[in-house]
Amino acid sequence: MSEILVAYFSASGVTAKMARELAETLRVKLYEIAPAQRYTPEDLDWRNKNSRSSLEMNDPASRPELGGEALDIAPYDVIYLGFPIWWGVAPHIVNTFLEAYDFTGKTIVPFATSGGSGMGNTVEALIPSAPGASFKQGKRLGGEEDMEALKIWTDGLGL
């Protein structure tokens, strides 16, 4: 049986809720991808071209600094990777996380929360940040999925 981890970034709490439910459903460890500097509501104002999130997402090279505890990634074979959709892709801090560890030989299953946006090119945009990893297509979660729906999804992946 593979060792599984649920790692997530959440700015508003929606992704955190889904990640907790997923980790509970799978009975696995949960890890928060925490920024060194937490995002404020002003930072997340996508209508403001000068907000922190707007500036980060408009710069493809942006890699916000990680905070929180370091992670020993070695024991995990499968990583469910959760994040909100920002500007059609994962927030750049998710790239920072992927680039901070060696995911060679590991399977990454992205899941995203969004009120309406789909996964878009999210997986394709993450692949260069984790060379050697195998990415599954992933799934957009609306935030209302219960444990039964999560179990059906994860069981269907065959991991």
How many structural domains are present in the chain?
A: 1
Domain that holds residue 145: 4-157
Q: Which two tokens stand for residue 28?
A: 């696995």
3-state secondary structure 93-126: HHHHHHHHCCCCCCEEEEEEECCCCCCCCHHHHH
pLDDT at 92: 96
Q: Which two tokens stand for residue 91?
A: 């927030």
Sorting pLDDT into bands at 50, 70 and 90, what band is 119? confident
Sorting pLDDT into bands at 50, 70 and 90, what band is 9? very high
SS3 14: helix
The Cα–Cα gap between 152 and 159 comes to 12
CATH of the domain at 77: 3.40.50.360
Query: Mean pLDDT, to the nearest integer, of 107-120?
Result: 86
Segment 22-43, tens digit of pLDDT: 999 999 999 999 999 999 999 9
Query: Mean pLDDT, to the nearest integer, of 55-66?
Result: 93
DSSP string across 6-55:
EEE--SSSHHHHHHHHHHHHHT-EEEE--BSSPPPTTTT-TT-TTSHHHH
